[in-house]
């Protein structure tokens, strides 16, 4: 009964490939997020959806495309992977966009070779 789950946990792939990461939350929250944490542990927001509507779209290459099929799911598709995309990607959810408490998933460790 994990609150926020992500698949896969690890992803090793070649440059130029396309990959997807999936996230699901069973907390009944309206808002979901994607964060990128680089090798120096800096955690930065990428996207946020509230009730399936995109509300945060940070300066991220358009190779990254989020998709929210319903409130409980938020996926991240990455085209033409580059070496610099190697990082840990965290999904999170909160009750609403103004809530200070966000619940994070375990992360997806992406390594691009």
Partner 1 sequence: QKEVEQDPGPLSVPEGAIVSLNCTYSNSAFQYFMWYRQYSRKGPELLMYTYSSGNKEDGRFTAQVDKSSKYISLFIRDSQPSDSATYLCATLGRSNYKLTFGKGTLLTVNP
Of 14, 39, 62, 98, which one interacts with partner 1 (CB under 8 A)?
98
Query: Which residue, 7, 14, 31, 17, is CA-closest to 89?
Result: 7
Residues 4-63 within binding reach of partner 1 (CB under 8 A): 4, 31, 33, 40-45, 48, 50, 55-56
Least separation, in Å, of the C-beta of 19 and partner 1? Answer: 20
Q: How far apart are CA 34 and CA 90, in angstroms?
A: 6
Cα-Cα-Cα-Cα dihedral sign, residues 19, 67, 72, 99: positive
Query: Nearest approach, Cβ of 5 to partner 1 (angstroms)?
Result: 11
Q: Let me know the angle formed at the C-alpha of 80 by 10 and 6, rounded to the nearest 5 degrees.
A: 30
Number of residues that bind partner 1 (CB under 8 A): 25
Token digits of residue 57: 């779209």
- The stretch near partner 1 (CB under 8 A) out of 17-25, 60-68, 73-81, 100-108 is 100-108
C-beta neighbour count of 2 within 10 angstroms:
10
101 binds partner 1 (CB under 8 A): yes
Binding site for partner 1 (CB under 8 A): 4, 31, 33, 40-45, 48, 50, 55-56, 90, 92, 97-98, 100-107
């Amino acid at each position: 009964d994990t609150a926020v789950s992500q698949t896969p946990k690890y992803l090793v792939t070649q440059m130029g490939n396309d990959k997807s990461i999936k996230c699901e939350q069973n907390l009944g929250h309206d808002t979901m997020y994607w964060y990128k944490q680089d090798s120096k542990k800096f955690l930065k927001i990428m996207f946020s959806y509230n009730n399936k509507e995109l509300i945060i779209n940070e300066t991220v290459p358009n190779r990254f495309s989020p998709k929210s099929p319903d409130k409980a799911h938020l996926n991240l598709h990455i085209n033409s992977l580059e070496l610099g995309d190697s990082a840990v990607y965290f999904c999170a959810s909160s009750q609403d966009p103004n809530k200070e408490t966000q619940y994070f998933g375990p992360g997806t460790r992406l390594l691009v070779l």
